[in-house]
Chain A
Amino acid sequence: MSNKTSKAGGFRARVTGLPKPVKFLGWIVLALLAYALPLLEPPFISTPGVDFGGVLFVVTMYGLVALGLNIVVGYAGLLDLGYVGFYAIGAYTVAILTSFHANWPLLLALPVGMLATLLGGIILGTPTLRVRGDYLAIVTLGFGEIIRLVAVNTEWLGTSKGISNIARPPSLELFEIPHLNWDTGVPLVDFNDSTTFIEFGVLDQIPYYWMGLTVVILVLIADKLIKDSRVGRAWEATREDEDAAELMGVPTFRFKLLAFATGAFVGGLAGGLYASRQSFINPQSFLLLFSILFLAAVVIGGQGNRWGVLVGAVLVAYLPQRFREFDDFRVLVFGLALVALAILRPEGLFPPRRTVRAKQLEQELDELEGAHDGHDGEAAARA
């Protein structure tokens, strides 16, 4: 066990020891690969039967939502089971402003939608964040359902019929990029199958993926900056022990509210982008089930670790699409996978470094205590 971790530590040390320009270059290459993924259409990874670009777009939306929810659940430790409500507020604001009651362009409606969600987060958070722990979970769940049911029952919000003709992002048709074709087993450049850079149309979903990926990268950078700041430390202190943090002079309520609002803001952004891509939304897109899936993404990936939750989001969004052959059995298999993951990796796939360190420390302490209690023979044998 300790051997393995030290090896991983060695690898990490070697990566972090690289000179800064090399690291930067590494990130650029990774990002370019991610951007090129739908053009490469690599076999095994691309999804047969469903549009690969569309699937990737949904993956980026889940990633965005997971990053937002990670701030609430992972950093601040507030269990939110109604996150889909914020997603819905963002989507509905954009839908109303661009199609249903006004005719705004998307780029104007989207920031308004995000602000509306931020406001929603503060309005919901101010009373509810006084409630702690699992009560918070059920209160947020209640709010999520209320938002959906209000949308179902209100004429002004399009009832269960939903809202269509939502504005798409403005297109900038610059040039065509061909795809790769793997039909013969070797990758060939296929000029008949190309994507226009950047045309947000109906058929080709790849530009939406690029947009989603760009937003995810921006949010990742912002997330890193916040997490490493005073705010991030205050969140962690609040999560670990609220009373102790309060005693140390952290205004816990304000920071919890900030986490809630920041998470809501990101959720609203994701909702707005989703509405714009779908061009149609109805309350069915905001079921409680999605809140649960979002939470599953965060917890599976390793709450508190931004890369971990991204992996979790990819798993939750991508696997059911990739294995469409199972079709009817998708949810069943997904459920089995959740149980198996929970039992095999209780800390999530990629727990944050701090958790790993704390665990190691605990183990060391246990070993020391064991030796102290007179298990000398055992300790000697281990040495």
Chain B
Amino acid sequence: MDFDFFFNNLPQLTITGLAFGAIYALIALGYTMVYGVLQLINFAHSEVFMYGTFATLWTVWALTGSGGASGMQLVGILLLALVMSMLTSALVALLLERVAYRPLIKRNAPRLIALISAIGASFVLAELMGLRDRVTGWFGLDDTLDRYVSGARINASMSGVVNMPNVDIFGIPVKTVDLLVIGAALLMMVVVDQFVRRSKLGRGIRATAQDQETAALMGVNPTRTIQMTFLIGGLMAGVAAFLYMLKIEVTKFDVGFLLGVKAFAAAVLGGIGNLRGALLGGLLLGVAENWGAALIGTEWRHVVAFVLLVVILLFRPTGLLGESLGKARA
């Protein structure tokens, strides 16, 4: 136990933890919404996130060129990367719904088989990215796209593109990128929460989560609502992917797996199906993990996360805030 280090760096550790937690929370949103509406674990959501990281990376690569960029130009590039990331993730999420879930939902298949279908889809998506050099090779494009597809199975990095300074807050040096990540994630969470609570589509989502048949009788199209759920989850995963790339700067075809597991754990921690629970769970998981890593050692980071999850579920078997996408007040 390294208490000296822990207490001397407590503010920084907390802020970094919150930044990680914010990313978990954004991904957790996708899990939690799909679970709230369909009661199934969207195992492939991690790949939705992974495609977002690559969309960000490639957009930045394509637009910065060799000289790099700075000032307003860089801001523009980053905004475009964010949009591309959100679009890509949303597209993958919609595709997933169409191919891997809708045929099963229509037939009222057992829920476990939907999980298997999702696992299969997750393998396919991850491997397609991991074999992108081969896949483009079939079309003879691997030379033209060499920069983007070579080294398909190793890390791809955009480090050095964005250099953000540290700022001092009350005498504590804080990384700007952490603040940006936390702020953006909180903003997106509030937007989604208000959208689900106040808009007509959001009401449809809540109604479908409560009782799909009755909602359909009241004129809510279930297929479209499910699509919307996947779309929102995908968009948020895109934002998470963009923020992740700002913070970590490195991605790989299998980057989604561990993050997905963590994000799902965050969703469960807060109470799956509960949007505010996802936020709380994500932030809590991120901070606890970072504190634990500082106290016991970085190699125990993931153990801390899982132990926290298990302990909380033992005392609150439906998560911290309980499960309630359907029960959210209008």
Contact = CB atoms under 8 A, between A and B. Distances in A.
**Most chain B CB atoms below 10 A, which of A332, A336, A347:** A332
A152 B301 CA distance: 12
B216 interface: no
Given A292-B119, A329-B134, A332-B123, 6 more contacts: A128-B313, A131-B313, A135-B319, A138-B265, A335-B123, A340-B120
B299 A153 contact: yes
B145 interface: no
Nearest to B310: A142
A340 B122 CA distance: 13
B104 interface: yes
Contacts of B121: 335, 339
Contacts of A131: 313-314, 317
A287 B42 CA distance: 20
A335 B96 CA distance: 13
A348 B112 CA distance: 10
Interface in A93-133: 127-128, 130-132
B148 interface: no
A138 B307 contact: no
Interface in A291-350: 292, 295-296, 299-300, 303, 328-329, 331-332, 334-343, 346-348
B238 to A, nearest CB: 22
A135 B261 contact: no
B41 interface: yes
A200 B113 CA distance: 39
A336 B272 CA distance: 28
A134 B113 contact: no
Contacts of A128: 310, 313-314
B146 interface: no
A145 B107 CA distance: 34
A71 interface: no
A288 B310 CA distance: 16
B75 interface: no
Interface in B96-140: 99-100, 103-104, 107, 109-110, 112-117, 119-124, 126-128, 131, 134
B197 interface: no
Interface string A1-28: 0000000000000000000000000000
Nearest to A347: B110
A342 B117 contact: yes
Nearest to A332: B127
Contact of B41 (A130, A134, A139, A143): A134
A347 to B, nearest CB: 7
A167 interface: no
Given A127-B314, A348-B113, A342 B104 contact: yes
Contact of B117 (A127, A141, A332, A343): A343
A288 B302 CA distance: 13
5 contacts: A135-B319, A142-B310, A149-B302, A299-B115, A339-B99
A137 interface: yes
Interface size range on B against A: 35 or more
Contacts of A130: 314, 317
Interface size range on A against B: 35 or more
Contact of B120 (A134, A135, A137, A337): A337
A146 B307 contact: yes
B141 interface: no
Contacts of B313: 128, 131, 135, 138-139
B269 to A, nearest CB: 9
B318 A135 contact: yes
Given A79-B112, A296-B116, A338-B123, A149 B268 contact: no
A150 interface: yes
Contacts of A338: 116-117, 119-120, 123
B135 to A, nearest CB: 9
A339 B100 contact: yes
B99 A346 contact: no
Interface string B158-184: 000000000000000000000000000
A141 B309 CA distance: 10
B195 interface: no
Nearest to A141: B261
Nearest to B134: A328
A342 B317 contact: no
A335 B124 contact: yes
A71 to B, nearest CB: 15
A346 B107 contact: yes
B306 interface: yes
